[in-house]
């Protein structure tokens, strides 16, 4: 059987960097080994799942460059889940429960007060048929729990090494709600079996789920040893704190809107937490070197500064043809070559387009009035090329006796309004003599003649 992996988001919100990292790991692993990458939408939560989020997930994955080989929605497979539930009922592994949430909370609190773990007590497992009939006659609809085995489930994790879950320390999970809705724990196993999934790659917050799902998979006739499990440590922020509070601001959609390039995100997330340094490589190259064994068992720090540094490298390597449609109307290749080396985000190009092609407010520099007036007088006539900056500043240096920062800094402030930026040798011909003269005189607080 060929290698098969799946990325299974719930369409209840936009993809964030944590989701994207898992999607990338599955995609790269599949491509590295010539396998299949499945997109499964876990949309059985009818209250929270939204079609617009399902569409957005597909858009975000395509933008990132992740093409899936097969896709389906769990909401299309409800009959399959009901058939699997019937098998579990017949084997005595799925049992009905009637406690309310308030009753369950009271039970948990009582166990905690006695110093016991808040594990479900399986009281409903011992209901007689008469009690079940009475509950049904009273209008109660049961929800259904899976009877876990009395054992420890162990596996060799492809990232974390030896792992085990002691099932007696875990509450029997609810697989089906009272309204008949099958839950994630259940539907995932049914689909993994049906689709012949060979490897499950997800976050380490699913460790306990894995133990439970291995037991469930066995109960449904599957062979857990035929599946490889890999759990990536969760992401933290740059200070080592939980990243979860910031995930909304770190959605792929918001990063895209801010101007982060998909190549930069993919390159950063693909190697974040591994022994390999992030490099702005195409997905095919990332896949060729992808290795789950290279990931550390420790949490990985997501640092926006590192992502921006990688994004800067990506932008610096892009040709004008690759970005022309995303630049302000009227921009030229000369403009792109001039500014790209100074961009962290592509949207910053808009600010530099205003500098060379629009109106800016030059800072008042009355203390530099004489120098700026002299600079205006010595401004060469057009036409200009990139050599005009050197000719002009050489003449100005000879006339003023200035050099270094004293020579260049006032000119940069007057011409661009910025403390730093692209090389003025490239910017000045784009700004043009008319704008340059007006800005020099405005900074000196003199009228344009």
- % pLDDT > 90, the chain: 85
- The burial of 373, by beta-carbon neighbours within 10 Å (0-12 exposed, 13-18 middle, 19 or more buried), is given as middle
pTM of the model as a whole: 0.88
Indicate the average pLDDT of the chain.
93
Residue 446's pLDDT band (cuts 50, 70, 90): low
| CATH class for the domain made up of 319-449 | mainly alpha
pLDDT in tens, 390-432: 999 999 999 999 999 999 999 999 999 999 999 999 999 999 9
SS3 of residue 304 by DSSP: helix
DSSP letters for 239-271: TSSBSGGGGGGGBHHHHHHHT--HHHHHHHHHH
Q: What is the pLDDT of residue 136?
A: 84
Mean pLDDT across the stretch 361-373? Answer: 88
Mean pLDDT of 363-367: 84
Report pLDDT digits (tens) over 103-124: 999 999 999 999 989 999 999 9
Residue 447 pLDDT > 80, yes or no? no
Helices 388-400 and 369-378, packing angle to 10 deg = 130
pLDDT reading at 263 higher than 80: yes
Q: Are the CB atoms for 145 and 124 separated by under 8 Å?
A: yes
Q: What is the mean pLDDT of residues 265-290?
A: 94
Please tell me the predicted confidence (pLDDT) of residue 449.
43
Whole-number pLDDT of residue 249: 63
pLDDT at 448 over 50: no
Mean pLDDT of 57-80: 97
277-303 residues labelled b (16+ CB within 10 A) or e (exposed): ebebbebeebbeebebeebeeebbbbe
Domain ranges of the chain: 319-449
Instruction: Specify the pLDDT at position 154.
Output: 97
Distance of alpha carbon 120 from alpha carbon 113, whole angstroms: 15
């Amino acid at each position: 059987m060929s290698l098969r992996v799946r990325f299974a988001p719930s369409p209840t919100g936009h993809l964030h960097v944590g989701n994207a990292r898992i999607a990338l790991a599955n995609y790269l692993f599949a491509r590295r080994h010539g396998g299949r990458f499945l997109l499964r939408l876990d949309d059985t939560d009818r209250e929270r799942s939204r079609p617009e989020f399902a569409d957005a997930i597909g858009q975000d994955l395509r933008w990132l460059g992740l093409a899936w080989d097969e896709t389906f929605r769990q909401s299309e497979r409800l009959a399959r889940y009901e058939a699997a539930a019937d098998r579990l009922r017949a084997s005595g592994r799925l049992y009905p429960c009637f406690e309310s949430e308030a009753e369950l909370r009271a039970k948990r609190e009582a166990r905690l007060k006695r110093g016991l773990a808040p594990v479900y007590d399986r009281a409903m497992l011992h209901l007689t048929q008469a009690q079940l009939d009475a509950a049904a006659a009273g209008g109660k609809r049961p929800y259904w729990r899976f009877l876990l085995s009395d054992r420890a489930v162990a596996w060799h994790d492809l990232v974390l090494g030896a792992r085990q879950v002691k099932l007696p320390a875990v509450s029997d999970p609810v697989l089906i709600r009272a309204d008949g809705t099958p839950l994630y724990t259940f539907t995932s196993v049914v689909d993994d079996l049906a689709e012949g999934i060979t490897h499950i790659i997800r976050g380490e917050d699913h460790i306990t789920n894995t133990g439970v799902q291995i037991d469930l998979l066995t109960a449904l006739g599957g062979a857990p040893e035929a599946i490889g499990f890999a759990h990536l440590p969760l992401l933290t922020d740059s200070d080592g704190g939980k990243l979860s509070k910031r995930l909304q601001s770190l959605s792929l959609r918001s990063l895209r809107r801010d101007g982060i390039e998909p190549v930069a995100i993919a390159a950063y997330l693909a190697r974040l937490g591994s022994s390999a340094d992030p490099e702005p490589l195409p997905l095919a190259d990332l896949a060729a070197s992808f290795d789950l064994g290279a990931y550390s068992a420790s949490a990985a720090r997501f640092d926006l500064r590192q992502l921006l540094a990688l994004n800067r490298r990506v932008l610096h390597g892009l040709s004008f043809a690759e970005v022309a449609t995303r630049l302000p109307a009227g921009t030229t290749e000369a403009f792109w070559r001039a500014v790209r080396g100074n961009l962290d985000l592509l949207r910053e190009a808009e600010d530099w387009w205003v500098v060379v092609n629009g109106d800016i407010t030059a800072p008042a520099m009355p203390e530099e009035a004489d120098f700026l007036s002299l600079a205006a007088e010595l401004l060469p006539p057009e036409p200009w090329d990139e050599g005009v900056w050197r000719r002009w500043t050489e003449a100005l240096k000879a006339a003023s006796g200035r050099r270094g920062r004293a020579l260049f800094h006032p000119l940069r402030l007057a011409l661009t309004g910025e403390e730093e930026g692209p090389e003025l040798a490239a910017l000045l011909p784009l700004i043009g003599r008319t704008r340059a003269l007006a800005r020099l005189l405005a900074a000196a607080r003199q009228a344009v003649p």
